[in-house]
A = this chain, B = another copy of it.
Amino acid sequence: MSNIREVARIAGVSVATVSRTLSHPDKVSEASKKKVMEAIEQVKYRPNMLARNFRSARAYSLVVLVPDIANPFFALVIRSIEQQAQKKGYSVLLGDTQDSHAREQDYIRLVETRLADGVIQLRPQWDQTSDQQSMNFPYLHLCATESTPGPCIRVDNVAAFKNIVDYLISLGHRRIGLITGLKGNPHTIDRLKGYKQALSEAGIPFDETLIAEGEFLIWSGVNAANTLCKLPNRPTAIACMNDEMAIGAIQAIKSHDLKVPGDISVTGFDDISYSRYCDPPLTTISQPADDMGSIAVDILLRLIEGETLDEEEHVLPYDFIVRKSTSVCKAADTNSDISQEPN
């Protein structure tokens, strides 16, 4: 393991010149530079970044905190984060927390001990009070919600979900089931708000029995949809708070010998890659995963550089994607009381 001193010796210059050749080549004469480069080549010198980082008090790495890397939407976002980070000379430390507070704290500690320069958090912020106050280091919420404090990037979940439900209503649906995430999850809260807004604007009363709680995982979509299908007056459409639950819901609905969308329309959220290939392909909301990742890195790096943000909150656009899992409500006339005419 050769070091800068040996290179200097071989090149016949000082260590400072070697260091400068590598870090500030413009401050070194061509002659010296040449000698140094040759010496480096000769002894196959590689600078010890552990030393360099220590010296510069920078780790050049970011922690990405994610509840579950196996969630395909998160995987997409992380792929983009990694891409952009590498472009900027930073490494990504993957912190898959499996929703464990302890594991999350372990990763936070990496920043406190200087092994990472900042954190991108993909888990939404559950309650206001708990962990936010102590984050006195570069910390950024991605996949944030309306209630997220501090620097964050998000799409307008309320508007996006309202968009979906508006569409279902426009197809004549009035009994619209909802498969949510866990109750307290901020995404659940925002999207539920969108659901209620759409209903209320259309003059459709909110019906608690049409709400089934899931937890953003396929199997929970199966269970929730089973419940809704067994309802005496079952919904003609089911809006799911993510694609995975929608995929589970479709399977469950089929298992009741019902057709999607013939008997029940289904919608998702996220537009994961399988959504194009389910049967039927899923009507859903597409979040700009690539932009979210790269913008997150850019903003976090600015935070790391000590810049103060002009705007803490960045709201990105979403796409509403109509596929084959939704259709006109066959029962539109029978189960609607104010029907389609303007009120």
A residues touching B (Cβ–Cβ < 8 Å)? 46-51, 53-54, 57, 59, 61, 64, 68-70, 72, 75-76, 78-79, 82-83, 86, 91-96, 98, 103, 106, 109-110, 112-115, 218, 222, 247-248, 250-251, 254, 273-274, 276-279
Contacts and interface: CB of A to CB of B under 8 A. Distances in A.
A78 B69 contact: yes
Copies of this protein chain in the complex? 2
A83 B103 CA distance: 10
A96 B82 CA distance: 7
B49 A113 contact: yes
Nearest to A57: B50
Contact of A115 (B49, B75, B276): B49
B70 A96 contact: no
A153 to B, nearest CB: 19
A59 B109 CA distance: 16
Contact of A218 (B110, B113, B277): B277
Given A79-B70, A91-B93, A248 B273 contact: no
Contact of A70 (B110, B248, B273): B273
A218 B275 CA distance: 11
A75 B83 contact: no
10 contacts: A46-B109, A46-B112, A49-B113, A50-B113, A61-B93, A68-B79, A69-B82, A92-B93, A222-B277, A251-B277
Given A53-B115, A94-B94, A218-B274, 11 more contacts: A47-B113, A49-B114, A50-B50, A50-B59, A51-B54, A54-B54, A68-B79, A70-B76, A218-B276, A222-B277, A278-B278
Given A254-B279, A274-B247, A94 B82 contact: yes
A222 to B, nearest CB: 8
A43 B331 CA distance: 69
B96 A115 contact: no
Contacts of A248: 277
**Which of A50, A96, A106, A113: most chain B CB closer than 10 A?**
A50
